[in-house]
Structure 1
Amino acid sequence: MTHPVTVGVDGSAAGLAAADWGAREAQLRGVPLRLVHAWEWQPFAHAPPMGPEAARRWSEGVPHEVTAQLHRHYPDLDITADLLTGPPPEMLCAAAAEAALLVMGTAGVGRLAGFLLGSVAMATVARTERPVVLVRAPGADEDKAVGRGPTATSPRPVVLGLDLVRPCEEVIRFSFDAAALRAAPLLVLHGWNPPGYYGAYGAGANVNWAAGFEAAQTESLRRTLRPWRERFPTVDVIEQAVVGQPASHLRPRSWCASPRRRSNSYGTVC
């Protein structure tokens, strides 16, 4: 059975960016693209500007409008569009269970590895067992139109943020697969901080200790990745053990993320 790339669309700029990313990913993988929009009528204490039927008609139009835009730029891509009725996080999790991966736009409040998340995205990421790609809404200096994604002559690297205390094999595998599929390099970042007593014994000792800590972290990173290098010999792996919070190093390098449930590891596919 061929599992599609599934995208949750909601009519927003972030949702449109997610649909475009999903279309390119589906084309790259040679699988269908499925667009879903989850609709749930919410009762109001006072009469809303439009009734439930008007709201439903708008919801029905969202995935079909996005489909029409995508078809103009990806005419050979097999695209289906579905309106799902029910709580959006539950509907998206159900759709993800049948997909190779779920793609959503990011917006609203809350933070995960430097990405802004809405309540639906946060709830979906927390519940689903499938890979989830989070695509940021385009900024003023980024391409906004469908079909106008990155056009660099050489592929941008796949970036993997790796927790060496509890490395997640699913995330590592996802990142190596993504790099191999794109013929792109894989940049693996591990963030670490010196122990609490660092800095208490003078500058000379600190320099020596810092060098020792960095060498130990780098060697641990290489040791963790060694079996994956053997499984994916064609992937060019770049390892970096960096001081500080991982998010501060990952944000400048990332365009979308693929978090996994029950893991401190996460990969970002660029």
Structure 2
Amino acid sequence: MTQDIVVGVDGTAQANAAAEWAADEAVLRGTGLRLVHAQEPWPEAVPPLAAQGSEEPWAEELLTRTAGRLRERHPGLRVITEILPSAPVPGLVAAGRAGALLVLGSRALGGVAGYLVGSVGLAVAGAVERPVVLVRALGSTSPRGSVTVGIDAQQPADAVMEFAFEEAERRRAGVNVVYAQQLPLYAAFGPAMVPDIRLAVAPEIEQSLDDLLQPWRAKYPDVAATPHVVVGSAGVELVRASDDAALVVIGRRIRRSALGGHIGSVAHAVLHHSRAPAALVPHD
């Protein structure tokens, strides 16, 4: 049985955008949708029964209203609701593990500041060993457009590529494969010819990317895949590419430790600033 898509709901504009994106995704995948609400812990001074009684009716009404709106938008979509029994981070991590995909909202700050994922979103995204998609309220949430994926040409992750190509195939879209060639620090202070030498090898890198894409093109013959070599910061370039993308896909190496998960600097930049929904895909 295909796993449902899980989405966190809390009544905010960004959570509503996440729920709508998740519903569209569920229709594309032919799965159901599971709306969950994680209750914030109350101060110890508040009696447990009083705290539960004050929030639970509101949460139930929120979930019912959201589910009704999504069913109206997508007749036939199976939507179930659940109030999680634990605090947001452990509750969402557990819910995410049980789904095919976890979708969360991100608070929009506007302008170049991008948006703030928040401590809960980052903690959950760094811990769930399932793809996590973060959606901003005022960004581009249309299923139309290409899928942009950032890769390390030396160590491409199959899980990340698989996710990107599957998403593109569902959308009948292409895949833009972005590799960022970082200039060394001395290039900024050396002769003007130094950056030119690095740019001159771009065709060779593009050819290696093209070779890397051949098995994926064979597996997904209906998906047009285009390699792009850019010079600069990977995070900055992927954020720039997000303006025209339906989805940006990045990888996160799984690190199992007592200190919890870890999100690298590139993923951190994309999650905070991408205008398009951003998918963080864990891989070994």
Tell me: CA distance 1:86–1:256, structure 2 relative to 1, closer, same or farther (3 Å). Answer: farther
1:248 partner amino acid: V
Instruction: Report the equivalent of 2:179.
Output: 190
Which of residues 218, 236, 254 is equivalent to 1:248? 236
Check conservation: 1:256, 1:269, Cα contact below 8 A. yes
* Unmatched segments (≥5 aa) in structure 1: 143-148
Is 1:169 the equivalent of 2:158?
yes
User: What SS class does the counterpart of residue 107 from structure 1 fall into?
Assistant: strand
User: What SS class does the counterpart of residue 61 from structure 1 fall into?
Assistant: helix
Instruction: Report the equivalent of 2:55.
Output: 55
Instruction: Report the equivalent of 1:159.
Output: 148
Q: How many residues align?
A: 252
**TM-score under structure 2 normalisation?**
0.78
Report the Cα distance in structure 2 between the residues aligned to 1:124 and 1:46, rounded to whole angstroms: 26
Instruction: Report the equivalent of 1:125.
Output: 125
Check conservation: 2:148, 2:249, Cα contact below 8 A. no
1:13 partner amino acid: A
Instruction: Report the equivalent of 2:204.
Output: 216
Is 1:22 the equivalent of 2:22?
yes
Describe the superposition over 1:209-266 as per-residue Cα deviations: whole angstroms up to 9, x where unpaired: 1333322332332233222222222210111111111222222425655554416687
User: What SS class does the counterpart of residue 127 from structure 1 fall into?
Assistant: coil
Tell me: CA distance 1:117–1:256, structure 2 relative to 1, closer, same or farther (3 Å). Answer: farther
Tell me: CA distance 1:101–1:51, structure 2 relative to 1, closer, same or farther (3 Å). Answer: closer
Report the Cα distance in structure 2 between the residues aligned to 1:180 and 1:201, rounded to whole angstroms: 45
Is 1:262 the equivalent of 2:253?
yes
Deviation, 1:55, is 1.9
Structure 1 residues 124-143: aligned runs within 5 Å: 124-138=124-138
Describe the superposition over 1:171-223 as per-residue Cα deviations: whole angstroms up to 9, x where unpaired: 111001111111101111111122344367644x4365133332233233223
Instruction: Report the equivalent of 1:86.
Output: 86
Report the Cα distance in structure 1 between the residues aligned to 2:250 and 2:186, rounded to whole angstroms: 33
Tell me: CA distance 1:86–1:259, structure 2 relative to 1, closer, same or farther (3 Å). Answer: farther
Report the Cα distance in structure 2 between the residues aligned to 1:245 and 1:115, rounded to whole angstroms: 19
Report the Cα distance in structure 1 between the residues aligned to 2:76 and 2:24, rounded to whole angstroms: 12
Check conservation: 2:108, 2:136, Cα contact below 8 A. no
1:189 partner amino acid: V
Report the Cα distance in structure 1 between the residues aligned to 2:195 and 2:103, rounded to whole angstroms: 44
Check conservation: 2:149, 2:161, Cα contact below 8 A. yes
1:241 partner amino acid: V
Tell me: CA distance 1:88–1:199, structure 2 relative to 1, closer, same or farther (3 Å). Answer: closer
Report the Cα distance in structure 2 between the residues aligned to 1:38 and 1:259, rounded to whole angstroms: 26
Report the Cα distance in structure 1 between the residues aligned to 2:16 and 2:134, rounded to whole angstroms: 12
Report the Cα distance in structure 1 between the residues aligned to 2:115 and 2:188, rounded to whole angstroms: 32
Tell me: CA distance 1:218–1:71, structure 2 relative to 1, closer, same or farther (3 Å). Answer: same
Instruction: Report the equivalent of 2:258.
Output: none
Q: Which structure features the higher share of helix residues?
A: 2
Check conservation: 1:17, 1:136, Cα contact below 8 A. yes
Tell me: CA distance 1:46–1:132, structure 2 relative to 1, closer, same or farther (3 Å). Answer: closer
User: What SS class does the counterpart of residue 198 from structure 1 fall into?
Assistant: helix
Instruction: Report the equivalent of 2:77.
Output: 77
Q: RMSD across aligned C-alpha pairs, in angstroms?
A: 2.9
Is 1:100 the equivalent of 2:89?
no
Calculate percent identity across the aligned residue pairs: 34
Report the Cα distance in structure 2 between the residues aligned to 1:46 and 1:242, rounded to whole angstroms: 55
2:142 partner amino acid: P
Report the Cα distance in structure 1 between the residues aligned to 2:172 and 2:65, rounded to whole angstroms: 33
1:10 partner amino acid: D
Report the Cα distance in structure 2 between the residues aligned to 1:163 and 1:181, rounded to whole angstroms: 24
